[in-house]
Amino acid sequence: MLKNRLFNNPVIDVLFYTQFSLIFFSSMLVFTTRSMLFFLLIWFFASNQLSTSVPLLGLARGLPIILLAFLGGYIADRFNRKYISMIGHFMKACPVIYLVYSYFYAQLEVWHAFMIFIVQGMVWAMDHPSRRLLILDIVGKNRVTTGVSLDLVMVSFGSIFGPILAALFLKNFDYGWTFLIIAVCLLVATLLVGFVKQPESIQEKPKKYSVKKQLQNFVSSFKDAFLYVKNSYILTSVLVFSLLFSIFVFPAGELHIVIAKEALIEDIVLTGIIVSASGIGAIIGMIVIAFLKTTRYHWTIFFSGFCGVFLSLLLPPCIIK
């Protein structure tokens, strides 16, 4: 009985599907290395007396996401999602490879960190919709919720283990070798997505349009999406909260690495463990929401999360005092 329940579980079915497993492990590498990279660069800023510039790094990542989000959705609807994901992973690896070169043969500069954060934000906006729709293509409508949920688990997985791994590598090696490991992992993630076999109907070549026609289609899609969101108060609320968090909360959230280093402790491994707590909190939050049988008022979840984040930003000054 237990064996039948185990193998009839939708999570097990999706995980053991080869094509999804390739996406799953590529996501694990991408999200883990992303957290490692952010931790390393912010630690580099804090070590060079540039702590006040750390929120600008978060802003450099958040603005491209806001500005290019609609373009990412447009591309995901009209081009091969597998190739878009591969290009996105490769683009993430390119600036990291440049960091490796700069560390061993030149010198790490402040603008290198801003370059990484801007590229990460741009690629996130461009390939995030494609990766989610690729999951839909692979697992189908009946399993898409499970597939996307497992992809979100990898986001939290990266938030937990990324800072810890970055701290361990940096303590035992240096920036250059750690950047090299990150670049290799991103290239492996690109290859994993390349091995994914899409359904035949998905591999059809997109129709060729003139540049003018493509711009007209993009503007038309943008108007349709805007009207759709405008007519739904729930989607409007989500949009407003997302904008507020991307502009004000996420950039300030990068400061917890600086606070852990300068105000509390100097041990890089302990700092990595403290930073990983955000991923643990994300998993706890997902579990709580998953066990909610019904949610009559969605705004209560957003408002509770907003209050929790706001209170957490007030705690560091109180602790320091």
pLDDT at residue 188, rounded to an integer = 95
Q: Tokens representing 80?
A: 């091969």
Of 83, 95, 125, 106, which is closest to residue 33 (Cα–Cα)?
95
More confident residue, 205 or 163: 163
Please check whether residue 32 is in contact with residue 185, taking contact to mean a CB–CB distance below 8 angstroms.
yes
d(CA 228, CA 240): 15
pLDDT tens for 202-249 read 545 555 555 566 666 667 766 777 777 677 777 777 777 777 766 666
pLDDT classification of 288: cutoffs 50, 70, 90: low
Token representation of residue 253:
């959230």
Q: Work out the angle between the directed axes of helices 18-47 and 81-105 (0-180°, nearest 10).
A: 30
**Domain 8-196+225-320 superfamily per CATH:** MFS general substrate transporter like domains (1.20.1250.20)
The per-residue pLDDT for range 298-308, each reduced to its tens digit, is: 566 667 766 77
Q: Can you give the pLDDT at residue 90?
A: 92
For 201-213, the DSSP string reads GGGPPPPP--HHH
Residue 290 has pLDDT above 70, yes or no: no
Q: Residue 191: its pLDDT value, please? A: 93
Residue from 261, 249, 271 nearest 162 by CA: 271
* Mean local confidence (pLDDT), 140-166: 80
Q: Are 144 and 87 a contacting pair, CB within 8 Å?
A: no
Longest dimension (CA), the chain: 62
Whether the full predicted model's pTM is greater than 0.85, yes or no, is: no
The predicted-structure confidence for 119-134, as pLDDT tens digits, reads as follows 888 888 888 888 888 8
In sequence order, which residues have a C-beta less than 8 Å from that of residue 203 and are 6 or more positions away?
80
Residue 93 C-alpha from the chain's centroid: 15
Estimate to the nearest angstrom the gap between the alpha carbon of 289 and the chain centroid. Answer: 20
Give the separation between CA 165 and CA 35, rounded to whole angstroms.
Answer: 9
Pick from 174, 189, 25, 223: which is nearest to 91 by CA? 189
CA dihedral (173, 177, 182, 184) positive or negative = negative
